Structure 1
Amino acid sequence: MYNNPIFDFIYCNGRREDIHQQGVGLCLSNKARKARYKVEPVNERLMKIRLNCKWFKTIVICVYAPTEEGTEEEKDDFYDSLQQTINGTSKQDIIMLMGDFNAKIGSETEAFVPRNGNESLHVTSKDNGLKLISLAPANNFVIGGIIFPHKEIHKQTWRSPDRRTNNQIDHILISRKHWGTLGEVRSFRGADCNTHHYLVCAKVRAKLKVERSRPVEKIKSFYIEKLKEDNTRNNIQLKLTNRFQILSIQGEEQAVYDQERQEWRRRHNWELRERTNPDISRCVKGRRMQGAGHFARMEEQRMPRRVFLAHVDERRPPGRPRKDWRRCFEDDLQQGV
């Protein structure tokens, strides 16, 4: 791993002997390396890195596949390792495969792999291309390089040393579940990195979750030595006793334990009336008697007195109290007598 103020370069060779062949690498920008990434080297041809995004995780698997001239055993070992790496990832995350697959995919792919795209640079597929086409639908992957229409110069990813042959062998795959986050895939020939490969870029709509440094909260310290003093200890005990006593009184007024049902319940209205001092009903009756005496002392032409002494013989409509205000006043007088 090489650290730089602008980016981090992660390289995985997988070889113990000093042989500078094969290997995969990945560069992370200054913003991406703050997303707490996790690197898992697999072998000299595979490397997995996990990035923390805001709503989900993004798994990037860097690939360097064997060439067409490689043996069949070497190709099978590579795709078996790639399949095991894919199986070890969560299907809920965005999974992306990118790198040098050395695979030529033909435009006839659309005939036997539907919804896979037919914007390939080549007409017929080679052996590595057929293996990649078999891998993609089996794991619900979309090959981004053959979906978006571009000019042929923007599809070329590799140029031969004699500068006569151009191929599309570098690919970017993304899980079909999240392929809507893929904006476009194309190559840029202007980036010169002293290699025969062109730079392949993909626009992915994913927001990284950057870990920000938070200020450390200081733990409040208590001066315990002061509790050894008698006056301080007694004052604190008195305050705690009074506080819990208030809580017990409030709880006693609101709830009571029913011995028959063996459970806690709320107090009934009649229980509250017994505990209320003075009685609520007596207060209501007293207020009603005061109002009646006030009406009786009024002059006869006053409207409140005339309404108070009026008598209506009509039947009270349903839903209304059976007793009117005057009848309640007469009952209060009889009870008072």
Structure 2
Amino acid sequence: MAHFLEKSSIPQATATLTEWNMVSDRIITARLRSQQVKVTVIQIYAPTKESDEAAKAAFYDQLQDELTTVPRHDLLLVIGDFNAQLNGDCSGFEVTMGPHGSGTRTNDNSERLRSFYASNNLCIGNTFFQHKRIHKMTWRSPGGLYKNKIDYICISKRWCLSLLDVKSRRGADVGSDHNLLVAKSRLKLMRSTPKPQRPRPFNVTKLKETPIAQQFQLELRNCFKILAETGGEESVENDWTRLHLIVIESATTTIGRRRGTYRNIKDNERCTNQSKGRSPVANHRSTRKTMSRALR
């Protein structure tokens, strides 16, 4: 009932399938991985208008449970046979649907469809594009006497502008009384600038150990000796650059950098300084409180 992939791209699409779930005989979900964004597709088959209220309520409750599990940043598509006709009256639902519906009358399924997707920030893609009536119909009765538009492609409101067109293809041989429904989309993504990584500070506490401090001094002395032998008449900027690199390489070799992120290191240093700055009386009071709690 819905078609998104060319024949040549089916193997690549199969490789991008990360998970799928057969929820019920009316709902199946799949999640695809792309280079830009992950896509969650929910294929549904809604109860007909002749079904009882309990069956309709159970279906929409189950569909709501599935929508709540979809990650917020995913491109969400809800597609399939909704068994509902929508006319061009979009009053009060301008964000959810467009003015290009094809139904002549609405029923209970139509109202459920509009209200449900409005409450879940979904857009009914078929209704936003103007086509000839013959290109809107998605279902035909046996013999072709009656034709209706009951299949829809709904997309999350965040990605609604990426839809370029939704159109029915009558010529496709799909072995069904439903026509093939095709959606074209194009993603416009914001360029993300990578944040500069702040280098971790050196573990200068190791210099308190005499062997490591002597090794660091020896490393610097050897590097300075090589620099003096190979140095020529260069500018002050070049001399400073070489000196800077020598100190960094020597420190990396001997003492290394501290573990953890820069924020964790600063937090640890702040806690250490605060604990050292406490007065002996405060420490004594804290010890007495701890002992009294233990004796209770």
Contact 1:97 1:173 in 2 (8 A): yes
Q: Judge conservation of contact 2:17–2:30 (CA < 8 Å) in 1.
A: no
Q: 1:57: which partner in 2?
A: 38
Please state how far the C-alpha of 1:245 moved relative to its aligned partner. Answer: 7.5
Output the amino acid matched with 1:32: A
2:118 is the alignment partner of 1:118? no
Distance 2:84 2:217 in 1: 79
Structure 1 residue corresponding to 2:140, chosen from 132, 138, 159: 159
Q: Which residue of 1 aligns with 2:54?
A: 73
Q: Which residue of 1 aligns with 2:163?
A: 182
For residue 175 of structure 2, what is the amino acid of its counterpart?
Answer: N
Count of residues in Structure 1 that have an aligned counterpart in Structure 2? 193
Moved more, 168-177 or 194-203: 194-203
Return the match for 2:119 from 125, 132, 138.
138
Give me the whole-angstrom Cα distance separating, in 1, the residues matched to 2:36 and 2:178.
Answer: 34
Aligned residue identity for 1:51: L
Q: How far did residue 184 of structure 1 move?
A: 0.7
Aligned to 2:166, the other structure's residue is in SS state strand
Specify which of 198, 210, 223 is matched with residue 179 of structure 2: 198
CA distance in 1, matches of 2:32, 2:17: 7
CA distance in 1, matches of 2:87, 2:105: 4
Identity %: 34
Give the partner amino acid of 1:112: G
Deviations 1:281-323 (A, max 9, x none): xxxxxxxxxxxxxxxxxxxxxxxxxxxxxxxxxxxxxxxxxxx
> Larger % of strand: which?
1
Instruction: Tell me the CA shift for residue 251 of structure 1.
Output: 4.8
> Is the 2:78–2:154 Cα contact (8 Å) retained in structure 1?
yes
The CA distance in 1 between the partners of 2:214 and 2:71, in whole Å, is 56
After TM superposition, the structure 1 = structure 2 runs for residues 148-297 of structure 1, keeping only pairs within 5 Å, are 148-205=129-186, 247-251=216-220
Give, in angstroms, the shift of residue 158 of structure 1.
Answer: 0.3
User: Unaligned regions of 5+ residues in structure 2, if any?
Assistant: 1-5, 189-212, 224-296
Task: Report SS of the residue matched to 1:32.
Answer: helix
Alignment partners' CA distance in 2, 1:49 and 1:146: 24
Q: Deviations over 1:125-164 (max 9, x none)?
A: 2211111101111011000111100110110000011311
Contact 1:53 / 1:206 at 8 angstroms: preserved in 2? Answer: no
Q: Which residue of 2 aligns with 1:284?
A: none
State the 1:111 CA deviation: 1.4
Query: Aligned-pair distance for 1:188?
Result: 0.3
Local SS of the residue matching 2:175:
coil
CA separation in 2, counterparts of 1:81 and 1:252?
A: 73
Bigger helix fraction: 2
Measure the CA separation in 1 of the matches of 2:133 and 2:152. 15
Tell me how large the CA RMSD over aligned residues is.
2.6
Amino acid at match of 2:92: F
- Which AA in structure 2 matches 1:42? V
CA distance in 1, matches of 2:153, 2:182: 9
Q: What is residue 78 of structure 2 aligned with on the other side?
A: 97
2:160 and 2:166 map into 1 onto residues whose CA distance is 12
Taking the aligned partners of 1:36 and 1:78, their CA distance within structure 2 comes to 25
- In structure 2, what is the equivalent of residue 232 of structure 1? none
Q: Distance in 2 between matches of 1:42 and 1:118?
A: 33
